[in-house]
Amino acid sequence: MSKSNLDIEFDQAVDRVNAYTEPFPADTLLKLYAYYKKATNDYGRPKSKKPIINAFKTNALFQAKGLTEDEAKRLYIDLVNNYFLYRK
């Protein structure tokens, strides 16, 4: 079974984020985290050593709870594209 265009675009966006060496703003990171988790059906608990980070990640996941996999992929792609288009 071949990948859909959405899956290919999503994988490219993930690769782009992983290759970027500068820090992302915290709000962008949390959205990327939540969309990625929803897009990949990864429902594991946040694993930071700092409880406050886990709380922020849990909140981000809660805000994305109504999204489908495809919606989460599209939002992730759009967020990445917009970030790299408008970053300073």
pLDDT tens, 38-78? 999 987 788 888 999 999 999 999 999 999 999 999 999 99
Question: Would the pTM count as exceeding 0.85?
Answer: yes
Q: Is 49 helix (H, G, I), strand (E, B) or coil?
A: coil
Residues 71 and 79: their CA atoms lie apart, in Å, by: 12
pLDDT tens, 4-45? 999 999 999 999 999 999 999 999 999 999 999 999 998 778
Do 76 and 87 touch, CB atoms closer than 8 A? no
Q: What is the pLDDT at residue 78?
A: 98
Q: Which long-range contacts (CB under 8 A, 24 or more apart) does 76-79 make?
A: 76/10, 76/13, 76/14, 76/32, 76/35, 76/36, 76/39, 77/6, 77/9, 77/10, 77/13, 79/28, 79/31, 79/32, 79/35
What residue spans define the domains of the chain? 5-9+26-86
Q: What is the pLDDT at residue 87?
A: 80
